[in-house]
Amino acid sequence: MSHDPVSEPATRPVSKRLLALGALIGMLALAAIAFSGIASRHSAAAQLESRARERSIPTVRVSTPGKGGAVSTLDLPGRLDAWSRAPLYARVSGYLRGWTVDIGASVKAGQLMAEIDTPDLDQQLLQARADLASATSVANLAAASARRWQTLVARDAVSRQESDEKSADAITRQAVASSAQANLDRLVATKAFARIVAPFDGVVTARATDIGALVNAGAAGGQELFVVSDLRRLRLYVTVPQSYAAVVRRGTRAIVRVPERPGVTYAANVATTAQAVTAASGGMLVQLVVDNPRGELLPGGFASVSLDLPPTQSALAVSPSALIFDGNGLRVAVVGAGDKVMMRSVTIARDLGRSVELASGLGPDDRVIDNPPEGIAEGDQVRVTEMAAR
């Protein structure tokens, strides 16, 4: 086999160029792959950063403040009391002879309820009558003597000094007789209190005595025998918080409910107010009047009272969940231009339960955040998803 000396050296440079070109192409391919990976990772990081930035913006729900001024109610607990309630005590001491009415009985004014046996008082009456008879007899004799002495003075039989002394003695004796008469009248009047009678038309709501019981005179020394209550009308006492003291006035209407009669309501009106705030309760005592012609309402019982509050035309109402209370006081968060948060300080006019009327701090077109996220601050960016009219 023969070799061509001219063609063999020409093939070696071609192989080197091919190798260099292949290496360059490989390096370019590797660089392109590396660049593509770096670009992909940069794009993914940018997307993640964008998504994180979007997720960091809180989504809030806003609403415009509602108009205040609708008639609302204030629900408070109350206590019923009889229009007139009279605990009856004995004015004389003795033993109870008998009673004629028991609890739940209706009585008329002046009706006999019980009678007390008063042996000690009876003896005092006998003595007082005897003292009066004696004093009257002495006074009559002194008066007759004074008249005779005046006749003798006219005849100059006795001195005027002696006649004046007899006249003075007659006056003294008459005064003693008058005192004895007054003492007898006092005992007679006291004896009348042995009959316990009803002070007014009403119902016997308590009886704390029985036949033969020892009765002591006066409220300090003895216990009450009966309690008579007028149930045709009842007094209803309610403690109104100080923030509502200015709007609850005489004539304010109310609806009354009692637990023993579910579904039944009774009309009431404010009769008077205490015009003072009690330090212990922080509220003002209000008295209402409730008609009770059928006797369905029971004195001493609990009642739920719904007071009608007058309208407040200038107030704006928001949800209680919109209120923020922190170190800066009471505020609400509103969404301003560019969907950025603005904090507004507000003042509560009335708390109506489902809504709160504000006296100041908001405008009717403000977009109020209903349930602001925790830590929301002035200037925070938010995303509004819904606009609701309250």
Greater confidence (10 vs 327) lies with: 327
The per-residue pLDDT of the chain, averaged, comes to 84
**Is the model's pLDDT at 51 over the cut of 70?**
no
**Residue 158, amino acid:** V
Give the pLDDT confidence of 91-143 residue by residue, as tens digits. Answer: 999 999 999 999 999 999 999 999 999 999 999 999 999 999 999 999 999 99
How far apart are the C-alpha atoms of 290 and 66, rounded to whole Å?
35
**Is the model's pLDDT at 236 over the cut of 80?**
yes
- Which residue reads 């994180």 in tokens? 52
How far apart are the C-alpha atoms of 224 and 377, rounded to whole Å?
67
Burial of 46 from C-beta contacts in 10 A (0-12 / 13-18 / 19+): exposed
**Residue 320, amino acid:** P
**Residue 341, amino acid:** V
**Is the model's pLDDT at 54 over the cut of 80?**
no
pLDDT for residue 3: 47
Cβ proximity of 318 and 332 under 8 Å? yes
- For residue 277, the cross-strand partners are 284
Greater confidence (54 vs 328) lies with: 328
Give the pLDDT confidence of 337-381 residue by residue, as tens digits. Answer: 888 888 888 887 777 677 777 877 888 888 888 888 887 888 888
- For residue 240, the cross-strand partners are 284
Give the pLDDT confidence of 185-209 residue by residue, as tens digits. Answer: 999 999 999 999 999 999 999 999 9
Which ranges of the chain would DSSP assign to H, the alpha helix? 8-56, 119-154, 160-192
Give the pLDDT confidence of 246-302 residue by residue, as tens digits. Answer: 889 999 999 999 999 999 999 999 999 999 999 888 899 999 999 999 999 999 999
pLDDT for residue 219: 64
- Which residue reads 């209120």 in tokens? 323
**Is the model's pLDDT at 238 over the cut of 80?**
yes
pLDDT for residue 155: 79
**In Å, how far from its chain's centre is CA 389?**
34
What are the backbone angles phi and psi of residue 81, rounded to the nearest 5°?
-145, 150
DSSP per-residue codes, 195-233: EEE-SSSEEEEEE---TT-EE-SSTTTS---EEEEEEEE
Q: Treating both helix axes as pointing N-terminal to C-terminal, what angle do 119-154 and 160-192 enclose, rounded to 10 degrees?
A: 160
**Is the model's pLDDT at 1 over the cut of 50?**
no
The model's pTM = 0.60
CA 141, 146, 151, 156 dihedral sign is positive
**Is the model's pLDDT at 21 over the cut of 50?**
yes
Buried b (16+ CB within 10 A) or exposed e, 288-318: bbbebeeeebbbeeebebbbebeebeebbbb
